[in-house]
Amino acid sequence: MSPKRVLLHVGTPKTGTSYLQDVLFRNRDRLAGQGVLYPADRFDDHFLAALDLMRLPWGGLETEAVGAWDRLAERVRDWSGTAIISHEILATASRAQIKRALASLGHPDTEIHVVLSTRDLVRQVPAEWQENVKHRRTIRYRRFLQQIQNPERVDRIATWFWGVQEIPDILDRWGAALDPSRVHVVTVPKPGAPHNLLWERFAHTFGLDGLDLDLHAERSNPSLGVPETALIRRINKVANAELRPAAYRPLVRELLAHQTLSRRTDSPRLGMPPEARQWADDLSHAWVDELRRRGYDVVGDLDDLLPDPHPVEFRDPDRARPRAVNAAALDAIKALLLEGARLQQSEEELRAELRETQIALERSYMRPTYRMREKAVRSAQEKGWGRRLLSVYRRARGRSSREA
Amino acid sequence: MVVDEAGSARAWAWVEHLRAGGTTPWVAFTGSVPGTLSSGPLPGAAQLEVARRLNHTAGAPSDQQRRLVERVLEQGGPGRGQPDLALVGVDSDAAFGAPPVDPAQVPAPELLRIAVGLLADLLARNPAPAPTPAPRRVRARPWHRDYRLAGDPLLVEVARQSLLRAGHVPGLRAPVSVVLADDLCAMLSDVWSWRILQGGTVRWTRWLADWERRDTLPPRLLLDRIAARQAADTGPSQVHVAINAPASAVASLVGAPERSVDDPVRLSPDAVELVRQTSLVLRVLVAKEQRPRILGTDLVPLLADEQGPPRAVLARHDDWVRRQAAGMRDRIGDAGYPVCGDLDALIPPEPVPGTRPTNGGVLDVALRTLLNFKERAL
């Protein structure tokens, strides 16, 4: 194995990626000291690089992504040891974008590994619908299921879903130019497995075993229950037209969904309706058979990708219980009130600062010569000849300034 | 993976056919490449169809055309959309991924996504050559009237630029203000288009709905307030409201020879929509401050032949637009400014003029624009 290698983690969403990226980001200095580069100056650097690589608009954030992939790739090329890149939306990259990405990282001269973390479809489908809702969508769950089950895959939602979730196709695209031994499939353990098992699988895959790392998570992408997701969807319906993406992100996605409603862990969880189970079962078995045949390096167990044969009772988020939605809405109102009060306090402090600044400014304008000039201009503006004179003066002054 | 060798050989032959400027659709193509198959995956069906349509529009093959087709075939689509679609009749291993398609059946929005992605890429990576030294600034003639132009930004810009080209810069005599206007639907279209040409990306429908929700017009179209501000500076008798006025009348108002002002020309709604979609991709390709230059200097000149009527205002906004136009007419009339034209012309005629862009129409403009770009930089 060459000393230099690149580990490219390309998905999939909702497989513990936010936690992994948080650990890597917060420990980046420690990692660098141990020969592992996680090239990021801000938490979302790899997200921005992915937006840049895929020319992907993202509610205005894409404007911060100009040139981000090339900068990231340059840092990786300049590093002599192991480098890790991780973002789950890379799963949907096209072949041309993947070719560009691999070339920019030094392929074929550099040893590149592709890592795909995966979870069973019965958990991924509702999780993807929830992500859609947290990104302003208003589509009902049943309609979402219909769209993704349509074999033509013509809708935007279906295109995105399969782009980031169809494991064999993602690995076809990302792994086409690599030896199967350099393609790693990490499976998310089944529910009830030890809490740290997924991290152990990540650590093994990324060569982090035995490194001294702080594993305390500050960021994650927590899940919502049935009434909470139903509530956010309804908020989207009434607020989307007037709430800009730049305001939606901190207020709805972060404050309401992540910081408030995700704490309601007693609510029923999202699942698959019984009539879609068989479809998901069949697809999962086909995927697992295909992955076994391809001979990738599997970290965990491909059986983790087969749906749990004893699912929990399905609760329909399109018909969430009004009492449960109301209770979630009260928590949301309380959170917004507290945030409003905090912003009000902040505004009062800023107003006080502004007043002090204005007083200081007025003091500096109290000189007699300034007041005389101001009076003359005001007087001239009231008369036609005065306005023309001022116009001539301003033009002459403008020309003088430019020539100077 | 099971590979249909005959289908693959036919597909690679079709790729070569397109590289050489061919225009035969995939289903009618019967050629084949002898010997071993080309390595690597085939370009996506959308890319291949865009290449075919470019050849069809271009006519005669050339080296530049070949380079353009090559760029198309290497192009990944920007943003959200279909993945690289496989060709129907090539691979029999279709257990995963989107179903294979006949390229001629790829929906126009997908073809447009590929074309717009390439156009944005070419514009970002091939900036127009630096302009020749600016012509010497024409000096103000003191005996010319000072003039101010305000109102519909498209009309203002055309008038201002043509007056400057004619050497008629504002002089030092008492100023006159001309507020240029058209019917309100056309002016709304002009303001939105103007914003798009400056690098904006907001959709027409959303933009219009926002203004209706606020129940006000964009600041550039608050013509009575603009006129009042001008009147404070020049006096009310020197503020002229020119509604749908001939260019010669506008020239007369500012004291310029009649032919000093050009007639306004509008980009077609299809062309403006292409600019908007290109801007969306440019947002992730170049810094914000570069975008207006790329659009104004590099893209818009390529669209010189893409003229058309204003964008149509949707019927659901009709009542609101008419109410706003009537209010504006009444306030301007009450203020007593001299009017060139008919104040009632502020109210849109029935039926509301203008057209809407279509995916097919925008795609056609995109293909012609790529061919124009090819002449300049490939």
The answer to whether residue B158 sits within a structural domain is: yes
Tokens of B200: 């904006």
pLDDT in tens, A204-235: 999 998 888 888 877 777 889 999 999 999 99
Do B208 and B324 share a domain, yes or no? Answer: yes
Q: In whole angstroms, how large is the CA radius of gyration of chain B?
A: 26
Helices (H), A256-317: 274-294
Contacts 24+ apart (CB under 8 A), A328-333: A328/A227, A328/A228, A328/A231, A328/A261, A328/A264, A328/A267, A329/A231, A331/A260, A331/A261, A331/A264, A332/A231, A332/A235, A332/A256, A332/A260, A332/A261
Which residue on chain B is closest to A55 by alpha carbon? Answer: B78
Largest Cα span, chain A: 90
Long-range contacts of B135-144 (CB under 8 A, 24+ apart): B138/B164, B138/B167, B138/B169, B139/B169, B140/A395, B140/B169, B140/B170, B140/B171, B140/B172, B141/B169, B141/B171, B142/B171, B142/B172, B142/B173, B143/B171, B143/B172, B143/B173, B144/B168, B144/B169, B144/B170, B144/B171, B144/B172, B144/B173, B144/B255
Quick one: B150 and B102 in the same domain? Answer: no
Q: Is B371 within 8 Å of B51 (Cβ atoms)? A: no
* Matching residue, tokens 């196709």: A169
Q: Are B176 and B147 in contact (CB under 8 A)?
A: yes
> Do the domain assignments include residue B300?
no
| Domain shared by B34 and B174, yes or no | no
CB A37 within 8 A of CB A82: yes
Give residue A184's pLDDT band: very low, low, confident or very high (50, 70, 90). very high
- Identify whether B194 is part of a domain: yes
- Are B158 and B59 within one domain? no
Residue B121 lies in a domain: no
Residue B289 in domain: no
Which residues in chain A are contacts of B238 at CB distance < 8 A?
Answer: none
Gyration radius of chain A over CA positions? 28
- CA of B202 vs chain A CAs: smallest distance (Å): 11
Tell me if ipTM is over 0.90.
no
Q: Is A115 helix (H, G, I), strand (E, B) or coil?
A: strand
Residues B324 and B195 in one domain: yes
The three-state secondary structure class of A35 is coil
Cβ A57–B283 below 8 Å, yes or no?
yes
Task: For chain B, say whether A95 makes contact (Cβ under 8 Å).
Answer: yes
For the record, the structure tokens of A137 come out as: 């969508």
For B138-188, how does the pLDDT look when each residue is reduced to its tens digit (9 = 90+)? 676 777 778 999 999 999 999 999 998 888 888 777 789 999 999 999 999
* Same domain assignment for residues B151 and B102: no
- The number of distinct structural domains making up chain B is 2
Distance, in Å, from the CA atom of A303 to the CA atom of B38, rounded to the nearest integer, reads 37
In a domain, B126, yes or no: no
Q: Which domain holds residue B320?
A: 145-266+309-347
Select the residue of A96, A152, A168 nearest B76 (Cβ to Cβ). A96
Instruction: Answer yes or no: is pLDDT of A402 > 60.
Output: no
A396 touches chain B (CB under 8 A): no
Q: How far apart are CA A163 and CA A151, in angstroms?
A: 14
> A38 with A25: CB under 8 angstroms?
yes
pLDDT in tens, A71-118: 999 999 999 999 999 999 999 999 999 999 999 999 999 999 999 999
Tell me the pairing of strands A82-86 and A36-37. Answer: parallel
User: Is B287 near chain A, with CB under 8 Å?
Assistant: yes
Q: Determine which of B172, B215, B283 to mutate to test the interface with A (most A C-beta atoms within 10 Å).
A: B283
Tokens of B244: 């749908």
B195 and B254 both lie in a single domain: yes
Residue in the block written with tokens 């010569």: A369
Q: Quick check: A93 contacting B, CB < 8 Å? A: yes
- Which positions in chain A touch B234 (Cβ < 8 Å)? 387
| Residue whose tokens read 């044969």 | A309
Distances (CA, A) of B232 to A11, A381, B105: 62, 9, 61
CA-closest candidate to residue B280, choices A57, A51, A209: A57
Q: B79 and A56 in contact by Cβ < 8 A?
A: yes
pLDDT at A1 > cutoff 50: no
Considering only CB atoms, which chain B residues are within 8 Å of A169?
Answer: 83, 96-97
pLDDT tens digits, one per residue of A385-394: 787 788 778 7
Q: In this structure, what token pair is assigned to residue B6?
A: 């005959």
Sheet of A5-9: strand order equals A36-37, A82-86, A5-9, A111-118, A183-187, A297-299
Q: How many CB atoms are located within 10 Å of the residue A142 CB?
A: 16
The per-residue pLDDT for B59 is 85
Query: Average pLDDT of B27-42?
Result: 77
Q: Indicate the DSSP class of residue A382.
A: T
Mean pLDDT, rounded, of chain A: 92
A residues 366-385 closer than 8 Å to B (CB): 384
* DSSP characters over B123-185: HHHSPPPPPPPPPPPPPPPTTSEEEEEEESHHHHHHHHHHHHHTT----SEEEEEEEEE--HH
Local structure of A311: helix, strand or coil: coil
Share of chain B above pLDDT 70, in %: 94
Nearest by CB to A388, which of B98, B99, B174?
Answer: B174
AA letter at B320:
W
B156 plus B100 within the same structural domain = no
- Span of B104-118, B316-330, B342-356 with lowest mean pLDDT: B342-356
Within this chain, do residues B187 and B88 fall inside the same structural domain, yes or no?
A: no
Q: pLDDT tier at A400 (50, 70, 90 boundaries)?
A: very low
Res B134: pLDDT: 62
Task: Encode pLDDT of A28-61 as tens digits.
Answer: 999 999 999 999 999 999 999 999 999 999 988 9
CA distance to A99, A316, B43, per residue, from B280 (Å) = 23, 37, 24
Is residue A248 predicted with pLDDT exceeding 70? yes
d(CA A172, CA A175): 5
Contact A57 B280 (CB under 8 A): yes
B161 and B90 in one domain?
A: no
**Same domain for B177 and B317?**
yes
The answer to whether residues B63 and B163 belong to one domain is no
Whether B128 is covered by a domain: the verdict is no
In a domain, B233, yes or no: yes
